[in-house]
Structure 1
């Protein structure tokens, strides 16, 4: 037998006898060390000697079966064994235990199946999915509730107490908790919060710890309130040891560094660093770099030096220096490229400025024709003579609904109730040719009008308007049926786009039949007037809002050369100058003032159509007096109007939240003369309420005349949208 054959035979037969011997008697390892039991010298070497071998060699060798030299000989069959009869190689087993395999090689019969295993599984929807509750999650309404107080230490000197209190889990609990475990959990959250706040100011070694105390209660029947104390320890303040920017060459060379307002020695404050990086992202696109990308900052802290510092590095990919190229468009064809080129406030070749791109988008939004619109710079690879890359602006158009319905309503003493509704198709005659139908219904005014309006007519912000209207007005001053045809070119402000300088000019043809008091006859008669007018207006507006200004001023001049045809042609000129000013005393109080002066030159009052005269009184004039009630009166007590006017108003606008209170004082009058007088002013005073909405304030004013005349009411009420001026 070769060596390989020998060891293979040993591997096949050695395991069973060895396992039998090991199972017959458990071996015992000798105990050694100072704690080992003492042995009797006389028993050393006896069969009970602890150091004797577990299986003697003679017994081990005798148990080995005889080996054959034929490695291919079949294995000897395993002897049959009765249950419960031990052999040298197998331990005794109970008689009740069946062998895994019978003597004839067959498997024993299967055990009886457990009937519960045959039952169907329980449906998923019957499982109880409620999570287990812990002591900190007691939600029983009858469970005892504990109270606690919160104290903060260490953050007040860093001015972090306000931020901590607004974010604190303990403060959010409002001093109530289900149990002490819940209070402790909130305190641990506030520990982490305190550390974050301190690190945000540059205290990167900051630590915080919380302590829950149970003071003794003065009432033995009530438990004492817990006290949760969060103490923050800021540690050293880290400052910038260096500021490095990795970027490409730019024009000018210090463009990036001067717009990154970080200096060596500055505290490493998170808000300050983020703000400085945001400034780079904001300013560079305004200086010709539309594709700038500010990378991830790296701050290497040094906590081993005497002074805690951090080395700051910021990668900045500026992209190419660029100039404006062309407009291109995609999406819905609301506007073609020709009309889109009306809107930009820049020329091709100008250095790129993101503010002008935003301005273009705002102008497109103001048309009201888009559901969504975006203006995005696109690289072209075209290089200009100055070395800049020409950047096209891609306008993505998504068409919005062109039709809209609008309505407004108001009430004032003297004018009564007035409601106005309109239907508009903003692009019936492309581009931006709108058709507007308007209906006015009120107790003292009714009318219909149709308007054609062309916005951005050949020039941005320039509008052409043509109006045909028919109106009936019935007031104390006159009763008139008026038809008007007018055309006007204008540049005016809108709630979306408020402009500093605005104007309009145009022409009007007016035919009106009106009631007028004839002083020569001593009675009211009806007369028909034909009027040709060339009205115009210029306005300079520095206020910060159209409907709710809080600062700035406005100056407005109206001039209208007119001719009246009533048995003859009489030319005259109507002028009006108005100024308003808004001065904020504080964030909640604004003082507003208004002055207005008007004059009509070149015609007698009685030759003027009553609707073209000046009147005072009402919600937009001197509050407390009826609409158009100020000025000369006829013998019947009705106003007849005048050729001049002056008005003054002062308001204190106090706002608290979405509400406001406005006490006011008004003064003014109208006069028969062509120039106003400083005497004979009528005063009205009152108080108003304001409810501020996202589109402007709702106004309710109540006023009373301070020096009324016979026939003037004691109280006047005005309801409308927007401030009085």
Structure 2
């Protein structure tokens, strides 16, 4: 029996039992007296030299192992083993030591160890609509079906277990569990050689938790209960992370729009009850003081002083604070293009405002940006040729916001220079004052002209920041032009000089949804210009043009767009009007398929000179323009991504009469391509005239920026 407190030894390494007949079984291997005598004497001198160790002579016969294994007799010291010659040899120098690490795996003949292929399967998340989100975040999916070993697959699967649980909790399934299993998938014909591994993540949602009581811890507000009203949660709603976070974000968004710019939403607390599967929700909110607008302040690298900055706000001092008006102010200042960055934030003053509010000032932090820029564009239209335009702009040459713009046009049929002074936000936000001096040479089929113009314009415009329903413009034009004109009395072209004074005005009512690429709504535009032409005598007259465009979205990718335009010049005979001021049809912005300004009355056939064979080529007849115009267009704008296809049909003509006619319309049809950019679509249109006349092209091409209308 073993000793108390111990258990008998068991196992393959247990020593064999000693036979009871062996008299030396319990005798000590070396007697204590002999062992003590063999110890060297010990002195109290710690500095004494160590005594040499006596090396026993080698065993004369047999190996060291045999000597060590030989039985000892009482009183006989154990024999020393023969020293190993390798151990006794001096150490190898470190410089000659081979430090190349050993291979952890056997050499595979120079080929890489193959990856383990696996497939992934997720179960239980599809009814919750979480499968796609799981797959996008899955560690198994991120591995793309390959791993170095099975342990790596298992680790990824365990990581995906936690992912599945987190996703279920985000939808309110707080008791949800997930488990992963790894199994072998036999290859073809059940062979193990082509087998793969399948990693399965199985999720069990459990019971859906819903909101119980909803408590908002906030101070008094005006109106009462404002925070709770702007927290769109109700008892019985699922405790979904997106729903709860969105509701809290709504509080942070809506309260600053209603007089509370310093609101802070605290950390929510949801107490879950496993018995009722409900969670009591508590949200602390620090509303801060109810505030009204005070004054503007500014700091930083100033571009504008406070006087000009006060042109931008759309609020008055003392008005209840609204964060949307603060954002609008920041966007308007950024829209000047003179800043790298602009910050606008409310600053507490402690001063009382109206209706028990606190006055808050707005701090505008300015960071100056480059004021100079170069821009250019190139376009092509059949009948108008290539046109290249370039501009240099100094947007703050005459502060504040007084821009100097130098422009040049170089084209196959027009060349010119211009200088423009433009002051934006001139005494009022979005009001622009423009003065232009230009010289232009134009050479078209309708006329050849050398024109100098001095014009001024005051406009109230839409901007990308704020698209206005109603805009207007008015101004003046002084034009001096020398042009080729067909003289019907002489039956030939002659050159005449005209002086024109005009007072043009424009009004636009815009209910479309976008300035550059509208997809719904409509626009109505009226141009009216009283003018006086001086060519031998003074002849006053009026020019009018009305245009309507509409946009109807059939679907998210298809928009039907239509346009109708009509114009009239009244109070003067056509031949007393400078050719450049008359109406013409045809071209990329008119009836596509026809050359630029090719539609309308033509020179008489009698003006043509027959060739050597007596034939007359009607294609040589030039347009002379008219006093009225009508145009119609219909497009189907189909967009896919950043590209689009636009089939279209146009109709229209110009007439000698004061009012346009419904008959004698010219039709053009074609198809266009669009490439959409952040500054508008790039347009390529190819069209053909449907009732073609002699001299009209069979195919017309138009390249430009922006939609046709």
| TM-score when normalising by structure 1 | 0.82
Take 1:444 and 1:133, find their aligned partners in 2: how far apart are those partners? Answer: 79
SS of equivalent residue, structure 1 residue 192: helix
Take 1:181 and 1:680, find their aligned partners in 2: how far apart are those partners? Answer: 82
Shift in CA distance, 689/251, structure 1 to aligned 2, threshold 3 Å: same
The residue number in structure 2 matching 1:285 is 256
The residue number in structure 2 matching 1:159 is 129
1:573-612 CA-to-partner distances (Å, cap 9, x unmatched) read 1111111111212221111111111111111111111111
Q: Does 1:561 align with 2:530?
A: yes
Check the 8 A contact 2:291/2:353 in 1, yes or no.
Answer: no
Q: Does 1:719 align with 2:674?
A: no
Shift in CA distance, 94/659, structure 1 to aligned 2, threshold 3 Å: farther
How far off is 1:226 after superposition? 3.5
Q: Does 1:200 align with 2:142?
A: no
Shift in CA distance, 301/705, structure 1 to aligned 2, threshold 3 Å: same
Shift in CA distance, 119/182, structure 1 to aligned 2, threshold 3 Å: closer
Shift in CA distance, 691/134, structure 1 to aligned 2, threshold 3 Å: farther
Map 1:621-700 to 2 at 5 A: 621-635=590-604, 636-700=620-684
How far off is 1:216 after superposition? 2.6
The residue number in structure 2 matching 1:218 is 188
Map 1:458-477 to 2 at 5 A: 458-477=427-446
How far off is 1:664 after superposition? 1.0
Shift in CA distance, 91/426, structure 1 to aligned 2, threshold 3 Å: farther
Let me know the Cα RMSD of the aligned residues.
Answer: 3.3
The residue number in structure 2 matching 1:144 is 114
Take 2:667 and 2:157, find their aligned partners in 1: how far apart are those partners? Answer: 63
Take 1:490 and 1:445, find their aligned partners in 2: how far apart are those partners? Answer: 27
How far off is 1:498 after superposition? 3.0
Q: 1:522 aligns with which of 491, 494, 499?
A: 491
Q: How many residues align structurally?
A: 641
How far off is 1:225 after superposition? 4.1
Name the stretch that deviates more: 686-695 or 559-568: 686-695
The residue number in structure 1 matching 2:74 is none
SS of equivalent residue, structure 2 residue 136: helix
Shift in CA distance, 383/120, structure 1 to aligned 2, threshold 3 Å: farther
Q: 1:189 aligns with which of 153, 159, 174?
A: 159
1:20-59 CA-to-partner distances (Å, cap 9, x unmatched) read xxxxxxxxx992379799xxxxxxxxxx999xxxxxxxxx
Check the 8 A contact 2:383/2:587 in 1, yes or no.
Answer: yes
Map 1:268-417 to 2 at 5 A: 268-303=239-274, 305=275, 307-417=276-386
Map 1:486-635 to 2 at 5 A: 486-635=455-604
Take 1:104 and 1:164, find their aligned partners in 2: how far apart are those partners? Answer: 73
Check the 8 A contact 1:435/1:453 in 2, yes or no.
Answer: yes
Take 1:93 and 1:579, find their aligned partners in 2: how far apart are those partners? Answer: 123
How far off is 1:693 after superposition? 1.8
Q: 1:168 aligns with which of 127, 138, 146?
A: 138
Take 2:556 and 2:99, find their aligned partners in 1: how far apart are those partners? Answer: 59
Take 1:552 and 1:600, find their aligned partners in 2: how far apart are those partners? Answer: 30
The residue number in structure 2 matching 1:3 is none
Take 2:701 and 2:576, find their aligned partners in 1: how far apart are those partners? Answer: 33
Shift in CA distance, 439/33, structure 1 to aligned 2, threshold 3 Å: closer
The residue number in structure 2 matching 1:230 is 201
Check the 8 A contact 1:86/1:93 in 2, yes or no.
Answer: no
Take 1:504 and 1:121, find their aligned partners in 2: how far apart are those partners? Answer: 92
Q: Does 1:447 align with 2:389?
A: no
The residue number in structure 2 matching 1:32 is 4
How far off is 1:164 after superposition? 2.2
How far off is 1:86 after superposition? 9.2
How far off is 1:189 after superposition? 2.8
How far off is 1:87 after superposition? 8.5
Name the stretch that deviates more: 210-219 or 332-341: 210-219
**Alignment gaps of 5+ in structure 2:** 10-24, 54-88, 605-619
How far off is 1:674 after superposition? 1.0
Take 1:602 and 1:133, find their aligned partners in 2: how far apart are those partners? Answer: 101
SS of equivalent residue, structure 1 residue 271: helix
Shift in CA distance, 569/291, structure 1 to aligned 2, threshold 3 Å: same
Shift in CA distance, 640/177, structure 1 to aligned 2, threshold 3 Å: farther
1:479-537 CA-to-partner distances (Å, cap 9, x unmatched) read 11100001110112334543322211001100001111111111011111100000111
Map 1:83-122 to 2 at 5 A: 103=45, 105-106=47-48
The residue number in structure 2 matching 1:17 is none
Take 2:429 and 2:482, find their aligned partners in 1: how far apart are those partners? Answer: 39
Q: 1:239 aligns with which of 210, 226, 237?
A: 210
SS of equivalent residue, structure 2 residue 185: coil
Q: Does 1:710 align with 2:694?
A: yes
Check the 8 A contact 1:289/1:320 in 2, yes or no.
Answer: yes
Q: 2:398 aligns with which of 421, 424, 429?
A: 429
Check the 8 A contact 2:318/2:354 in 1, yes or no.
Answer: no
Shift in CA distance, 327/120, structure 1 to aligned 2, threshold 3 Å: farther
Check the 8 A contact 1:260/1:276 in 2, yes or no.
Answer: yes
How far off is 1:250 after superposition? 0.5
Take 1:206 and 1:432, find their aligned partners in 2: how far apart are those partners? Answer: 62
